[in-house]
């Protein structure tokens, strides 16, 4: 209790755990049980005759609210906790409550019921030997000790272990019942409604009870848990089968992609040769998608460097790291969306790194065989900062080259004009030269 109260004052909420049949187990199983017992003693009077009395609803709400404040527990576990609280209804009482309690216990009807139960509990044929452990925590410890992959044990196995004392040797009567259960388990049908343990003990079974499983287990919860919680071995087999299916689908997709590319020459308007081996280092590239048809969706740079990582993680199989610079088809979906940048389309990936299948990367910027219309031009807003800088540098370089060409042409024209004048002077007759001297 002290640990729970101190943890609550510091904002610490304890986690609780349940086994496959919905029973409370460790860690913190004992702690929750003790906490519920203390709460019910403070909130419910011991003179309460019927735990189902509607007048107790307000007190039950307080108990559940306090449990939620101190323990991380689901709403669906409320029924279990309320049943456990009713079971733990004990505690100190006031003088008035004590007098009322005595009068109830002296009632003849109660005396007959008490005598019957006292006689039944005084000499049990197969006494329980595990104290407060309970069947749920006992099953948990047995599975951990055996390092078993199963999630539950048969009822008769738990029943026998619960009747083994400190000596570690069960009584002969217990062993006899256990051996009879083993024989019945080989002959009875799995659909038999009556439990093996009840048949071996030859005792009537109460409605809604599962003998040998302990408090909190009902036939309904047992059948539901069996259907919803397969063993670890079954889960492992399922995972292996799913992985095999995924590998087959991946191989089929890669084969289909290569076939579609070979048949897409009529649809593709880009004169591009895909290279099976990407050159090492960083190279300009075009990015393609194969579904629903082959087309170029962007441009960028492929980083074919050994040991390269994508956002601190390894690249998917058959992919390379690519930086997207230009989005040709902005709304095209990325083959491998980026979890770190939340990018799902080519436009959203501009300026960042993504994984791209190797067979959909074309190294080098190729010139289209068919001219594109103005409407198909790449919008400026779909280009990355790196691409814009490269385009600006190219524009400046082209302008400088054109200016130099103009200057060179002008200089050539001047030189040509001077040469023509010199030739003309040399061809003038002497008479003209002399006549010109008279003017």
Q: Where are the domains of the chain?
A: 2-92, 134-228, 281-387
Check: CB of residue 196 under 8 Å from CB of residue 184: yes
Tens digit of each residue's pLDDT (9 = 90 or more) over 300-315: 999 988 888 888 888 8
Instruction: Please list the residues that pair with 72 across neighbouring strands.
Output: 15
**When comparing pLDDT for 415 and 28, which is higher?**
28
How confident is the model over 9-36, as a mean pLDDT? 85
Tell me the C-alpha distance between 235 and 230, whole Å: 7
Query: Which pLDDT band holds residue 321 (cuts at 50, 70, 90)?
Result: very high
Asked if pLDDT for residue 352 goes beyond 80, the answer is: yes
Check: CB of residue 272 under 8 Å from CB of residue 286: yes
Closest CA to 322 of 380, 289, 283: 283
Question: What's the token pair of residue 286?
Answer: 């075009």
Tens digit of each residue's pLDDT (9 = 90 or more) over 420-432: 444 444 444 444 4
Tell me the C-alpha distance between 186 and 126, whole Å: 24
Dihedral of CA atoms 391, 393, 397, 402 in degrees, nearest 10, equals 50
Q: DSSP H helical segments within 71-154, as ranges?
A: 78-87, 95-105, 108-122, 134-146
Tens digit of each residue's pLDDT (9 = 90 or more) over 6-17: 777 777 888 888
**When comparing pLDDT for 428 and 134, which is higher?**
134
Check: CB of residue 233 under 8 Å from CB of residue 332: no
3-state secondary structure of 281: strand
pLDDT score for 392: 53
Asked if pLDDT for residue 37 goes beyond 80, the answer is: yes
**When comparing pLDDT for 275 and 299, which is higher?**
299
**When comparing pLDDT for 4 and 345, which is higher?**
345
Which of the 8 DSSP states describes residue 17? E
Contacts of 287 (CB under 8 A, 6+ apart): 296, 297, 298, 299, 300, 322, 324, 346, 356, 360, 361, 362
pTM: 0.36
Looking up tokens 């088809």, which residue turns up? 329
3-state secondary structure of 8: helix
> How many secondary structure helices (H) and strands (E) does the chain include?
14, 9
Tens digit of each residue's pLDDT (9 = 90 or more) over 146-204: 887 777 888 888 888 888 888 888 888 888 888 888 888 887 765 555 678 878 887 77
């Amino acid at each position: 209790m002290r640990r729970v109260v101190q943890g609550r004052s510091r904002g610490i909420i304890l986690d609780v755990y349940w086994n496959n049949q919905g029973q409370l187990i460790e860690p913190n199983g004992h702690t929750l049980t003790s906490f519920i017992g203390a709460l019910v003693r403070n909130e419910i009077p011991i003179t309460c005759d019927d735990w189902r009395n509607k007048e107790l609803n307000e007190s039950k709400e307080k108990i559940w609210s306090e449990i939620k404040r101190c323990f991380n527990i689901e709403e669906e576990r409320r029924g279990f906790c309320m049943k456990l609280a009713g079971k733990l209804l004990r505690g100190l009482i006031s003088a008035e409550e004590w007098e009322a309690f005595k009068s109830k216990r002296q009632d003849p009807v109660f005396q007959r019921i008490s005598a019957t139960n006292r006689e039944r509990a005084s000499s049990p044929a197969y006494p329980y030997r595990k104290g407060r452990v309970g069947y749920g925590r006992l099953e948990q410890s047995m599975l951990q000790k055996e390092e078993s992959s199963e999630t539950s044990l048969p009822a008769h196995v738990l029943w026998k272990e619960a009747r083994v004392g400190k000596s570690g040797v069960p009584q002969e009567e217990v062993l006899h019942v256990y051996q009879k259960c083993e024989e019945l388990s080989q002959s009875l049908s799995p659909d038999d409604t009556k439990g093996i343990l009840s048949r071996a003990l030859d005792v009537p079974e109460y409605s809604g009870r599962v003998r040998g499983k302990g408090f909190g287990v009902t036939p309904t919860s047992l059948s539901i848990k069996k259907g919803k919680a397969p063993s670890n071995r079954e889960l492992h087999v399922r995972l292996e089968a799913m992985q095999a299916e995924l590998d087959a689908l991946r191989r089929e997709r890669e084969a289909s992609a290569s076939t579609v590319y070979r048949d897409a020459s009529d649809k593709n308007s880009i004169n591009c040769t895909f290279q099976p081996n990407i050159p090492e280092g960083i190279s300009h590239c075009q990015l393609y998608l194969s579904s629903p048809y082959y087309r170029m969706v962007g441009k960028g740079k492929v980083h074919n460097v050994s040991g390269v990582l994508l956002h601190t993680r390894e690249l998917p199989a058959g992919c390379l790291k690519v930086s997207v610079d230009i989005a040709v088809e902005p709304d095209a979906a990325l083959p491998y969306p980026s979890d770190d940048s939340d990018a799902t389309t080519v436009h959203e990936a501009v300026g960042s790194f993504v994984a791209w299948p190797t067979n959909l990367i074309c190294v080098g910027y190729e010139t289209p065989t068919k001219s594109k219309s103005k409407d198909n031009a790449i919008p400026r807003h779909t280009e990355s900062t790196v691409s814009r800088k490269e385009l600006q540098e190219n524009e400046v370089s082209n302008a400088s080259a054109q200016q130099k060409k103009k200057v060179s042409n002008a200089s050539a024209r001047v030189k040509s004009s001077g040469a023509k004048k010199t030739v003309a002077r040399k061809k003038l007759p002497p008479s003209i030269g002399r006549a010109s001297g008279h003017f």
